[in-house]
Amino acid sequence: MQPTGEAHLGNYLGALHRWVELQERFDCLWCIVDDHAITAGGDPRDLPKKVVDLAVSFLAVGLDPEKSILFVQSDVSEHTELAWLFNAVTPMGDLERMTQYKDKAQRFESVPVGILNYPVLQAADILLYRADAVPVGEDQRQHLELTREIARKWNAGYGDFFPEPEAIIGDEGRILGLDGNAKMSKSLGNTVDIMAEPDEVWARVRTAVTDPQRLRKSDPGRPELCNVHSLHRHFSSPDVVEDVAHQCRGALRGCVECKHILSDSIVTTFAPMRERAAELRAQPERIRDILDDGATRARVLARETMAVVRQRMGLDWRKGWKR
């Protein structure tokens, strides 16, 4: 996950919530991808704090360093090294076809190569650990298909070594932002942070767009078309979900009250995690130790892979005079 600060509801429902379950069933690595983040620009002075904030979110939601490996991408330089080597087998045309590249490229007058190469680094993030499976959102399916293609091409050129990782696609789909229109995303400013204090949660939820046809409290609403209602389904208990739908359809309760109930449900859902986050923030040395330890464990695996990759690609010149 990119370090864009503390996680939001979309990250939680689309990723973190599932990851916590996956760590019970698989040997997992969870990586904060700061090398990827630099392609988005931004002030470098902000990046270290964003990494720590995301690490706090990871730990607070229940990713457990005893069960999986939690680390920061730039601590394991093998990621960027493998990405460079994968450049040798990645067709330019494949990268140019990526939907995310085409979307992002439009925002630049002169497109940085990093925006084009982003999926190659992503392939390296995955294949460095010879991962069998990757939990990704629907939007990342194309990049994962490219990762499989890179694995196939590399294996064809240098001998079978990398598995073709499967996508583990969640059933939550795309969580809409408070505008009720676009995907919830930091860059669109339509998020609610999971670790936000109760008054901040309310300040955000109160701006949520509801059924546009319901202009007055006396107009009957259509919960099935209202994004506030779909958020209720994720965070409120089943009887509350039913009750707010009933009250909305019958114009018995207004949108502001409905949002208050949603805000309370979000606050209650994340209360234990907010507490854990506060404890963690008070112990920065603990977070540092966890990430240091994670990087050490990740490096062991990364180095095993790179020893084979370097040897197969002829990057072991010391053998040169033995021939």
Any idea which residues carry the catalytic annotation? 104, 183, 186
CA distance 208 to 205: 5
CA distance 189 to 174: 16
Torsions phi, psi for 241 (to 5 deg)? -60, -45
Q: Please, which residue, 85 or 176, has the CB nearer to ligand AMP?
A: 176
Find the residue with minimal CB distance to ligand AMP: 14
Q: Please, which residue, 139 or 160, has the CB nearer to ligand AMP?
A: 139
CA distance 246 to 266: 20
End-to-end CA distance of the chain, in Å? 45
CB 218 within 8 A of CB 254: no
Q: Please, which residue, 126 or 248, has the CB nearer to ligand AMP?
A: 126
Burial state string for 291-309 with b = 16 or more CB within 10 A and e = fewer than 16: beebbebbbebbeebbeeb
Q: Please, which residue, 179 or 304, has the CB nearer to ligand AMP?
A: 179
Q: Please, which residue, 14 or 221, has the CB nearer to ligand AMP?
A: 14
Q: Which two tokens stand for residue 33?
A: 């991808």
* Nearest distance from C-beta of residue 137 to ligand AMP, angstroms: 2
Q: Please, which residue, 139 or 289, has the CB nearer to ligand AMP?
A: 139
Q: Crossing angle for the helix pair 198-205 and 255-281, nearest 10 degrees?
A: 140
* Nearest distance from C-beta of residue 320 to ligand AMP, angstroms: 43
- Measured between alpha carbons, how far is residue 214 from residues 150, 208, 233 in Å? 50, 13, 20
* Nearest distance from C-beta of residue 14 to ligand AMP, angstroms: 2
> What residues does 135 pair with on adjacent strands?
168
CA distance 147 to 95: 11
- Using alpha carbons, select from 51, 61, 55 the residue that is nearest to residue 15: 61
The residue ranges that bind ligand AMP (CB under 6 A) are 1-2, 4, 10-11, 14-15, 136-137, 139, 174-175, 183-185
Give the CA-trace dihedral at 28, 82, 51, 38, to 10 degrees.
-140
CB 39 within 8 A of CB 83: no
* Nearest distance from C-beta of residue 59 to ligand AMP, angstroms: 16
